[in-house]
Amino acid sequence: MTKSNGEDPRSGNRMERFQQGVRKRTLLAKKKVQSITKDDVKGYLVRNAFVLFTVTGVIVGIILGFCLRPYKMTYREVKYFSFPGELLMRMLQMLVLPLIVSSLVTGTAALDNKASGRMGMRAIVYYMCTTIIAVIIGIIIVVIIHPGKGTKENMHREGKIMKVTAADAFLDLIRNMFPPNLVEACFKQFKTNYDKRMFRVAIPPNETSVVASVINNVSEAMETLTRMKEEVIPVPGAVNGVNALGLVVFSISFGLVIGNMKEQGQPLRHFFDSLNEAIMRLVALIMWYAPLGIMFLIAGKIVEMEDMGVIGGQLAMYTVTVIIGLLIHALIVLPLLYFLVVRKNPWVFIGGLLQALITALGTSSSSATLPITFKCLEENNGVDKRITRFVLPVGATINMDGTALYEALAAIFIAQVNNFELNFGQIITISITATAASIGAAGIPQAGLVTMVIVLTSVGLPTEDITLIIAVDWFLDRLRTTTNVLGDSIGAGIIEHLSRNELKIRDAEMGNSVIEENEMKKPYQLISQENESVKPLDSETKM
Ligand code: ASP
């Protein structure tokens, strides 16, 4: 009913209630601000010291970089200047190998086969879904914006590209899963190289019969009348770098076996638990150095980067398109997925990951960021260690949403600048190969650019056109690495929520041994004990 003056009484009430609410909140906020003591401020600063230092490092790095650009440093000077940043990269990479092995072994050994099987399935489903969503976003965005209008003739080119066939790249991926030598897997990956082989082809009999009739000795004629042919053949080769995929496969299998060995496997479990704990303590030390390292990494890159003048209109549009795609995936899709499954505020969760995200931005490497991602997830977001140890190393190795989105988008961009019309089948091929290429890409700077060759060859696009996008790749790589780390971390949060029942059951089973172990007062704790005694399950920050 409306009043005679036309006003709805309900809307008046609502307005009043709203005003009351605002007043109440303002009063509460005022009280809160008034009650803030020096200690509270100090406590807040200490709690968030890492993030504050890291953000400061980024800001100072950007300012420093732009201030130093006019001095036109030589390549040698830039390398000297970036040295503190290079040190951070080296320190983080130093920890990656023992961290992957120890966390995966303890992560799988702490669960029974059924629980780890289920958790593994959830992880795979999550990785596949998010990667496919990322690829679809990349394709839709590049088709809508169409950054590749015009020709490629006056576009800037940079660097050169090694060719590889899609089939060989795929086989290399599988070969790397099973390294024949574990020690070698710590510093080398298998990679197919190409060589040329000469071989003789016999001339067909009808041709030879004419010639042979002239020459008496038939066998001699057959010998001389052969043609030499050349063919390109795949030969075994190697590239430097940790074979993370091989170590992941080995560590998971090893952890499962140790878990099944019960009493007999206990010494090994203790060993890897202790190793993991020691590595995490080293990570805690390195985290203090990270802000300084990130500052120099960013400043060094800004000093080193080419003048933006080389970036033509198409490349600029392409950069904007990739940024939009990554932002949609990182700021809308992933948080929404987290909210829909976990029903908690995704921004609180993402807030806890800030340091890892900034490190990813600074290092361009999801594998080097892994130690910091562990710290952020376990300490800031309280994710169960059995989940992080199981899910994070696998995620950092095979789950790269940002890279998948980028590869599909870049391939279609290259098709556009070549005026190459892609049919639906070819777009599907690009989606599948972009997904495979993101799985195969290592978590190191610009690895996505190397695996892009597979996507391009699968639909017959010229691989040398990758040189068209190299100029901006260093920058886009940082953004896609950040998206990759975010995807892995949100995945850990979602899988923890979905696996809460298995974890509870396991906690109940472990109950007795936990008490026994605690009584023994070991210098380190088994992960299942820490979860039991230190952190209540599901202790993530509530909305
Ligand atoms: N740099 C990325 C990462 O480490 C991989 C890529 O080049 O896309 O996650």
Cα 392 to averaged position of ligand 1 atoms, centre (Å) = 15
Quick one: which atom of ligand 1 is closest to the CA of 450? 7
Cα 503 to averaged position of ligand 1 atoms, centre (Å) = 32
Could you tell which of 400, 401, 409, 435 is best to mutate to test the pocket of ligand 1, judged by most ligand atoms within 8 Å of the CB?
400
Could you tell which of 403, 452, 474, 476 is best to mutate to test the pocket of ligand 1, judged by most ligand atoms within 8 Å of the CB?
403
482-539 confidence digits (pLDDT tens): 999 999 999 999 999 999 888 888 777 766 444 444 444 433 334 443 443 333 333 3
* Other C-beta atoms lying within 10 Å of the C-beta of residue 69: 15
Assign 3-class secondary structure to 326-366.
Answer: HHHHHHHHHHHHHHHHHCCCHHHHHHCCHHHHHHHHHHCCH
Contact between 406 and 322 under an 8 Å Cβ cutoff? The reply is yes
Quick one: which atom of ligand 1 is closest to the CA of 396? 9
pTM above 0.85, yes or no: no
Cα 162 to averaged position of ligand 1 atoms, centre (Å) = 18
Q: What residue's CA is closest to ligand 1, atom 3?
A: 443
Cα 442 to averaged position of ligand 1 atoms, centre (Å) = 7
Cα 172 to averaged position of ligand 1 atoms, centre (Å) = 18
CA distance 175 to 434: 19
pLDDT band (50, 70, 90) for residue 4: very low
- Exposure pattern of 192-202 as b/e (b: 16+ CB <10 Å)? beeeeeeeeee
Smallest CA-to-CA distance from 176 within 96, 243, 241 is with 243
342-361 confidence digits (pLDDT tens): 999 999 999 999 999 999 99
Quick one: which atom of ligand 1 is closest to the CA of 448? 7
Cα 472 to averaged position of ligand 1 atoms, centre (Å) = 14
Cα 359 to averaged position of ligand 1 atoms, centre (Å) = 13
Smallest CA-to-CA distance from 98 within 439, 293, 389 is with 389
Could you tell which of 89, 135, 245, 366 is best to mutate to test the pocket of ligand 1, judged by most ligand atoms within 8 Å of the CB?
366
89-131 confidence digits (pLDDT tens): 999 999 999 999 999 999 888 877 788 888 889 999 999 999 9
Cα 355 to averaged position of ligand 1 atoms, centre (Å) = 18
Could you tell which of 242, 361, 365, 454 is best to mutate to test the pocket of ligand 1, judged by most ligand atoms within 8 Å of the CB?
365
**Average pLDDT, whole number, for the chain?**
84
Cα 242 to averaged position of ligand 1 atoms, centre (Å) = 14
Q: HSE-up of 319 (CA within 13 Å, CB side)?
A: 18
Q: Which amino acid is at 71?
A: Y
Pocket of ligand 1 (CB under 6 A): 364-366, 400, 403, 441, 443-448, 477, 480-481, 484
Decide: helix, strand or coil at residue 110: coil
Q: What is the predicted pLDDT for the residue at 214?
A: 59
Quick one: which atom of ligand 1 is closest to the CA of 367? 4
Q: What is the predicted pLDDT for the residue at 262?
A: 80
Q: What residue's CA is closest to ligand 1, atom 1?
A: 445
Q: Which amino acid is at 521?
A: K
CA distance 112 to 126: 21
Quick one: which atom of ligand 1 is closest to the CA of 406? 8
Cα 201 to averaged position of ligand 1 atoms, centre (Å) = 45
Cα 543 to averaged position of ligand 1 atoms, centre (Å) = 31
Q: HSE-up of 55 (CA within 13 Å, CB side)?
A: 7
**10: pLDDT strictly greater than 70:** no
For the chain, what percent of residues have pLDDT higher than 90? 49
Q: What residue's CA is closest to ligand 1, atom 6?
A: 448
Q: What is the CA radius of gyration of the chain?
A: 29
Cα 26 to averaged position of ligand 1 atoms, centre (Å) = 45
Find all residues with CB under 8 Å of 269, minimum gap 6, and list them: 106, 109, 110, 258, 259, 526
Mean pLDDT (whole number) for 1-29? 69
Quick one: which atom of ligand 1 is closest to the CA of 441? 5
**81: pLDDT strictly greater than 90:** yes
249-277 confidence digits (pLDDT tens): 999 999 989 988 888 889 999 999 999 99
pLDDT band (50, 70, 90) for residue 226: low
Quick one: which atom of ligand 1 is closest to the CA of 447? 7
| Alpha helix (H) residue ranges in 178-265 | 182-185, 205-214, 218-224, 244-260
Q: What is the predicted pLDDT for the residue at 405?
A: 96
160-218 confidence digits (pLDDT tens): 667 777 788 889 889 999 999 999 999 998 988 888 888 777 666 555 555 555 556 66
